């Protein structure tokens, strides 16, 4: 049995940020970071980019090996937690060891959601969450020509563009009528479908996927209307699910993820959770920046009780692929009025409800994104729209 001052399970950006913050505030307490990953913390958000550019592994790491030695942080790689008792703060590990932490952070992250599509188990169907996933995908598609991405969200589009950069034929399949369905209104969403087609990315929107067909490996995608799309490989970009299996029977409060308060502490004193696995006020963010902030706050509170509170971030989306530049924030679906600006390749929209600015989309030149973000997040009066320096006009019929 091993005892440590701080036990961190998971080395995603939440676990790494927590360890960094703990060491800033406690120079002497022992820190053990346990992870199922075979590598130290890397920039997971760049995996889709690496499809197109390749990966310089040295630059992919958040911190090098010396950082862990300098900060006296012990790391167990390729090791899973198989059971956890929050009462005793004891973790049972896959290598047979048992470790008790005076303070514990559960930051096991998430895994790709695999939709229940017939044939999803076939060779040539991939989901991407780790560096090993990236390596396997790149090895498989090296001699392939036609690829399909399931899911037209931000990561799906970034992956499709990276596949295009490799000289492959790529099709994005999206069940909604247009890609980025949560970030764009119908008008600009349909425009983006066309822009992607012009770029060379085929878009099949408004249809669900029924089946993957093939013998030795996947060869076709069958849509619900019977349409067949030939393919040599498929990349699933269909969301995430928290890695909660190893703590389901632990006694911790679990809903979609591990339920924590605003200090990121569970119902058991000294047991914290952060990152994709933590649920705050019913929400799981699944975002790199949110996980980094949660790790920082949890690490601080593990040393200085209740020193910081976590606030849900205000969300925005930034898509930059090829010549496409899109920024979106706030609510673009519920509004009384639309203010618009169209000039050349620039198509900007601001959404107003009860004279308050509630959402914004910049398509084309996005240099005003910080001003639009500020107006939206503060729900400014529509009269303040002039601060954006874009000559918006109220669209007739909606005003």
**Residue recorded with tokens 């692929």:** 321
Contact 6, 103 (CB under 8 A): yes
How much is the mean pLDDT over the chain? 95
CA distance 265 to 78: 26
Q: Is 212 helix (H, G, I), strand (E, B) or coil?
A: strand
Question: Residue 271: which H helix or E strand, with range?
Answer: strand 271-273
- Parallel, antiparallel or unpaired: strands 110-112 and 337-343: unpaired
**Cα–Cα distances in Å, from 115 out to 125, 150, 212, 270, 271?**
12, 10, 12, 36, 32
Contact 353, 207 (CB under 8 A): no
- DSSP state, 48? H
Phi, psi at 277, each rounded to 5°: -90, -15
**pLDDT for 387:** 80
Residue stretches of the chain with pLDDT short of 70: 396-399
What is the secondary structure of 104-160 as a DSSP string?
EEE---EEE-----BTTTSTTEEE-SSHHHHHHHHHHHTT--EEEEE--SHHHHHHH
Contact 140, 51 (CB under 8 A): no
The packing angle between helices 186-199 and 154-165, to 10°, is 10
CA distance 172 to 359: 26
The answer for 363, left when phi > 0, alpha when psi is -120 to 50, beta otherwise, is: beta
Cα 158 to chain center, whole Å? 12
What residues does 111 pair with on adjacent strands? 241
- What is the model's pTM? 0.93
- Parallel, antiparallel or unpaired: strands 278-280 and 258-260: parallel
**Cα–Cα distances in Å, from 366 out to 152, 300, 333, 356, 361?**
21, 35, 20, 21, 9
**Residue recorded with tokens 């490996």:** 217
CA distance 139 to 360: 40
Q: Which residues of 95-104 are buried (b: 16+ CB within 10 A; e: fewer)?
A: eeeebebebb
């Amino acid at each position: 049995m091993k005892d440590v001052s701080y036990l961190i399970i998971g080395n995603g950006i939440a676990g790494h940020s927590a360890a960094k913050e703990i060491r800033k505030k406690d120079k002497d307490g022992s820190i053990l970071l346990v992870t199922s990953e075979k590598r130290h913390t890397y920039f997971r958000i760049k995996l889709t980019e690496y499809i197109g550019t390749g990966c310089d592994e040295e630059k992919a790491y958040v911190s090098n090996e010396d950082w862990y030695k300098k900060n006296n942080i012990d790391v167990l790689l390729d090791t899973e937690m198989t059971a956890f008792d929050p009462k005793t703060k004891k973790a049972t590990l896959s290598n047979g060891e048992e470790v008790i932490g005076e303070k514990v952070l559960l930051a096991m992250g998430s895994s790709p959601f695999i939709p229940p599509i017939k044939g999803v188990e076939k060779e040539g169907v991939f989901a991407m969450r780790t560096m090993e996933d990236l390596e396997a995908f790149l090895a498989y598609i090296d001699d392939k020509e036609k690829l399909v991405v399931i899911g037209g969200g931000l990561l799906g589009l970034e992956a499709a563009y990276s596949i295009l950069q490799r000289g492959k034929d790529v099709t994005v399949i999206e069940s909604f009528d247009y890609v980025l369905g949560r970030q764009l209104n119908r008008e600009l969403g349909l425009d983006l479908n066309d822009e992607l087609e012009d770029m060379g990315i085929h878009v099949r929107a408004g249809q669900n996927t029924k089946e993957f067909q093939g013998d030795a490996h996947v060869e076709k995608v069958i849509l619900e209307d019977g349409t067949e799309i030939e393919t040599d490989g498929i990349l699933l970009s269909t969301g995430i699910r928290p890695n909660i299996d190893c703590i389901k029977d632990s006694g911790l409060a679990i809903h979609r993820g591990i339920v924590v308060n605003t200090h990121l502490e569970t119902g058991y004193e000294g047991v914290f959770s952060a990152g994709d696995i933590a649920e705050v006020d019913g929400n799981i963010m699944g975002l790199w920046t949110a996980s980094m902030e949660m790790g920082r706050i949890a690490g601080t509170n593990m040393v200085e009780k209740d020193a910081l509170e976590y606030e849900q971030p205000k969300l925005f989306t930034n898509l930059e692929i090829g010549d496409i530049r899109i920024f979106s924030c706030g609510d673009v679906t519920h509004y009384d009025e639309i203010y618009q600006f169209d000039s050349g390749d620039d198509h900007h929209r601001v959404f107003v409800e009860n004279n308050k600015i509630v959402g914004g989309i910049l398509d084309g030149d996005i240099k005003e994104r910080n001003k639009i973000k500020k107006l939206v997040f503060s729900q400014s009066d529509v009269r303040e729209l002039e601060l954006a320096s874009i000559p918006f006009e109220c669209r007739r019929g909606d005003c």
